[in-house]
Amino acid sequence: MNITGKGAYRTGTYVNLFHQSGYSKEEINARLEQTWNDLFYGDEYTRIYYPVGEDKGYMLDTGNDDIRSEGMSYGMMMAVQMDKKEEFDRLWNYAVTYMQHTEGRYKDYFAWHCKPDGTRLSPGPAPDGEEFFAMALFFASNRWGDGPAPYDYKSQARKILHACVHKGEEGKGDPMWEPSNKLIKFIPETPFSDPSYHLPHFYELFATYANKEDQTFWKEAAEASRAYLHTACHPVTGLSPEYANYDGTPAPIQPHGDFRHFYSDAYRVAANVALDWAWFGKDTWQVEQSNRIQAFFSNIDVADYRRYTIEGEPFDEPALHPVGLLATNAMASLAADGPHADAFVKLFWNTPLRQGKRRYYDNCLYFFTMLALSGRYRMY
């Protein structure tokens, strides 16, 4: 499956696909800065970041009026990529103060959502938050250096990853990665995964930055996740389910819903696959997969995006986050070499941020795509 890596990790080169599509570097940089300003300091219909007091801030899930570990860690990644240390530190301080457990079965994990005032709505964690927290913290350490706790970024990241791997070995709590196959779980207690949680490009870096005794684990986790995505993505459509068993088949219907189909969580798979290719270039399947998913959506207008079976049959249910889906389809152009790659880049460029109640998830994916297609989503 793997070839010698040809990505930015070895070459140091990050491709600016917007520039290749004909946009000037000046207008690209201006657009990226404006997008940051709109999301963090824009009007009430656009912004998703809110400072609190002198030293905290949060990313608001505007569709659910809560704060999620997903969004907090996303905001930190956005901030470190944009060299915005104040916003990064505010988000991290809020997350440590209100969301990170200091004792019990979830010690060092983060409650997956809370109210804006910090009151926890649920104690349980969601592993996509922990992996983004850790990666953003390592980048912050490498970019800005470490300070006094809780701004000793590298130590904080290592503490999170240690818990993710080793919790349960002393009989208290569950790890976030299944020890037998090194695949990330949907939540620590479940025997299945979420394909969109798989970030082999992060695990490659964890294999360098995590505690020494865990570095082999993370290298193996990267390989396991790449292989897993082959099984979770449909070989014709490229679509994946929101939740999937360890063999890649759709997970059973859950008490809280049916997640066997291609819907909101699953949009992120295309972006993750493409970024792994851009950074590490180890798995040529990722090129084929990116071509597949772009081909599937190439003749579908964004306004007509739906929920789909992984075989590609549409439901009579519109996509809840169409701009987010477009963003990830465009981010697939980092790996795609098919006939639709440039068209998706241009379509995305010509699509504005989403406004209104449901904007949070769409615009998080939008900003990551803006970074990636500008050649500005980088390893530090």
For residue 301, the one-letter residue type is: D
Distance CA 76, CA 274 (A): 21
Question: Is residue 265 flagged as an active site residue?
Answer: yes
CA atoms of 237 and 251, how far apart (whole Å): 19
Residues in contact with 183: Cβ distance below 8 Å, sequence separation at least 6, in sequence order: 177, 193, 198, 221, 224, 225, 228, 246
Rounded CA separation 214/33 (Å): 37
Report how far residue 69's alpha carbon sits from residue 115's, in angstroms, rounded to the nearest whole number.
12
Tokens of 24: 């000037």
Joined tokens for residue 101: 């457990």
44 is catalytic: no
d(CA 9, CA 253) in angstroms, rounded, equals: 39
CA distance 368 to 351: 14
Question: To which residue do tokens 């809560």 refer?
Answer: 66
CA distance 356 to 321: 12
Signed CA dihedral, 212, 93, 83, 341: sign only: positive
C-alpha–C-alpha distance, residues 105 and 337, integer Å: 46
Q: Which of 38, 66, 70, 108 is catalytic?
A: 70
89, 265, 276, 362: which one is catalytic? 265
Q: What are phi and psi of 102, to 5 degrees?
A: -105, -5
Strand partners, 200: none
Residues serving a catalytic function are: 70, 265
